[in-house]
Chains A and B, each alone.
Chain A
Amino acid sequence: MPDAALKKKRPLWYNLNLLNLPLPGVISILHRISGALLFLFTAWLLYLLDSSLASAERYAEIKASLAHPLAKLVLLGLLWAFLHHLCAGIRYLFLDVHKGVDLPTARMTSGVVLAVSLALTAVVGGWLLW
């Protein structure tokens, strides 16, 4: 019976443990988390832009307050969120037009997204924040 043979090949259960999430799944949930994070910090980032452009005094104040290690850490986190969201977003745009949808390519591009966004965060963060 071909039906029985097919049935035997099917996985009995799916491992839904977060640590066993395949790489494209990791990229997907990070895309969502980074997007939500950027949304939550939008008002703060606008406040920084507003202050930095308002006057020379406010610019100096903001510059001094952003020199705090904690502020730098938050900015670095937001920079990563932005870059990851951007890189993963570009990957999704390609998936939308059916480029790279087969599993090996999808896994490979997921790795590229993760690596490129982390590398860019290190480079841009190093340049702008330190």
Chain B
Amino acid sequence: MVNRVVVGAHYGLRGWLVQRVSAVVMACYTVLFAVALTAARPADHAAWKAFFGHGWMRFATLLFFVSLFLHAWVGMRDILMDYIKPTGLRLALEVLVILLLVGCAGWAIQILWRT
């Protein structure tokens, strides 16, 4: 009756899964983007803006960006864990990566929903 998990907190598993799920989302978006781009062939600013103006395109691109930033976090965390041994420096770089990615996420939303 007791759902006791005795081995660790599973942080690693969560990161691993986030990395894979976000990868699949981005791979699907890449195919969608390539198909939409070859179909629309936007050649000037108005067409380029209209290309990202569709509701579904905004939605899909937002999902792509959210996946990208989660994916980049897990990947950069792995790289920093492998190569940066001093804990203080690693923590500082990890915080820097998070701040950059959160900032980019806000920026991406602003780009997509700007009128």
Show the binding face of A for B, using Cβ within 8 Å. Answer: 32, 35-36, 38-39, 42-43, 46, 49-50, 52-56, 59-60, 86, 89-90, 93, 96
Instruction: Say which size band chain B's interface belongs to.
Output: 20 to 34
A46:B48 contact, CB within 8 angstroms:
no
Q: Tell me which residues across on chain A come within 8 A of B45, comparing CB atoms.
A: 52, 55-56, 59-60
A50:B20 contact, CB within 8 angstroms:
no
Question: Is B23 positioned at the interface, with any CB of A under 8 Å from its CB?
Answer: yes
**3 tightest A-B contacts by CB?**
A59-B45, A56-B45, A35-B75
Question: Is B114 positioned at the interface, with any CB of A under 8 Å from its CB?
Answer: yes
What are 7 contact pairs spanning A and B, CB under 8 A?
Answer: A38-B72, A42-B101, A56-B46, A59-B44, A59-B48, A86-B30, A93-B23
Tell me, rounded to whole Å, the shortest Cβ–Cβ distance linking A88 to chain B. 11
Show the binding face of B for A, using Cβ within 8 Å. Answer: 20, 23-24, 26-27, 30, 44-46, 48-49, 52, 68, 72, 75-76, 79, 97, 100-101, 104, 107-108, 111, 114
